Chains A and B, each alone.
Chain A
Amino acid sequence: MYWQREYETMSREQIRKVQLERLQALVKRLYNEVPFYQQRFKEKGLLPGDIKTLEDIKHLPFTTKQDLRDTYPFGMFAVPMEDVVRLHGSSGTTGKPVVVGYTKNDLRIWGNLIARSMVMAGVTKNDVVQNAYGYGLFTGGMGIHYGAETLGAAVVPMSGGNTAKQLMLMQDFGTTVLTCTPTYALYMAEEAHAGGVDWEKIKLKIGIFGAEPWSNEMRRQLEESWNITAVDIYGLSEVLGPGVACECRYKKGLHINEDHFIAEVIDPETGEPLPYGQRGELVFTSLTKEAFPVLRYRTRDISVLYADKCECGRTLIRMERVTGRTDDMLIIRGVNVFPSQVESVLLEFGETEPHYLLVVDKKGTMDDLEIWVEVSDRMFSDKVRGLEDLEKRLRARVLSVLGISAKIRLVEPKSIPRSEGKAKRIIDKRPK
């Protein structure tokens, strides 16, 4: 099933043609309408006409989050405010948010891209979609909402929280699709299993989860506890909001909506583009957005692109689900390590909410990695052998997932410092 088959199944040649035409038009628009970009082009001695092939994108300047902050609030807009019909903001925890704007046409395209994503996941207009993404400045709630309406499904605009009511309506309305963050879906599942829910009345089939990185192990937990198919949806407000990419039912990476975005993976250190199959930082260029277009936006999300054909029939390239952020990437003995990889190992060991800390230090000339893991009731045994065996199995699993050896240190619960309820994941003691 497709929503816009002509775009979703184009040949690579066609898609590249569409991308080049749209990129050339975008560059012209940015040069003429956004002083920030004109300045950047001039610094690089570039003119819009210099973009002759898709590969020329590598000459174009990057856009960073800092650039968006510096132009707060509307400095990056490429249309007059009279054409802007919606404003959203990124969820910056510190300082001012990054503001993004949409024209009517932007909203129409966004709605279609979400509808495309939902159809990829198996949603039809007969479904009841309970949308538990937060409504507000955050793009998740309204983005999914209008996308589900575009598709023609019935949307229940629940927003986040109020779990008891979520569960009640889920039973009474016969909700078939749940959209929210994976952690909230897991929390709801725990509450539902704790009692008071008539499982005969739960009709859920599909979960579309996103807005935060999650692991395949977490997918397994979600699919089992709700008895659903769970797919990952990706997006960020600076580029669009949800709907930049989404998994199909084969769950082999997220199809990127390439007729509207060019995805690149670059080496976060050098900025050089990397070939398909190599892990690096995701960079997106929005091709069709009118109010708030971005050129080569550095997401800081780490992923890999795959161009081989998907069984679903879509020719859109796929990105591996985001496994980490460049912000928390550690380079240990030359290997890129992400805390999320450690988390996925601990999830495999049955921890639903693992607390851990990566402590990196220098021992002589060698980098030394210690992973502190808070012992839970589930892990604990009265036998020394039991705990030593656990350490050994964790060490072996970490070695195979991270590719480097680490010392596992079991620590008491709550001994890893937390700030605002969130645990700190890295202490890097190496001299800079």
Chain B
Amino acid sequence: MIEGVTIYDILTLTTILFFIGVYGFLTRKNLISILISVEMILNASVVNFVIINKYLYPDVLQGVLFSIFIIAVAAAETALAVAIIINLYRQISSVEVKDTEVMKY
């Protein structure tokens, strides 16, 4: 519990964070920025889990444990995505979305 901060404030914050992430994913033109947007979505759910655990169900640490796993998996995901981006960069010398597209409808 944090003095003077209700659960509604923090849930509003995480919801805004989530939608900033979704907006960024859809509009960014650079692969690295898209990756950062995905990280924001994941971090929004991490904060959600911790805060729900702390405010609503403080007896069992399920939410906190879940958030630790999310952070670890997100790190693996980012590493893999960056590896693929580097491989793509070596072929086309660019990380812009418009340069990567050869397959379209």
* A and B physically associate: no
| A positions within 8 Å CB-CB of B | none
| B positions within 8 Å CB-CB of A | none
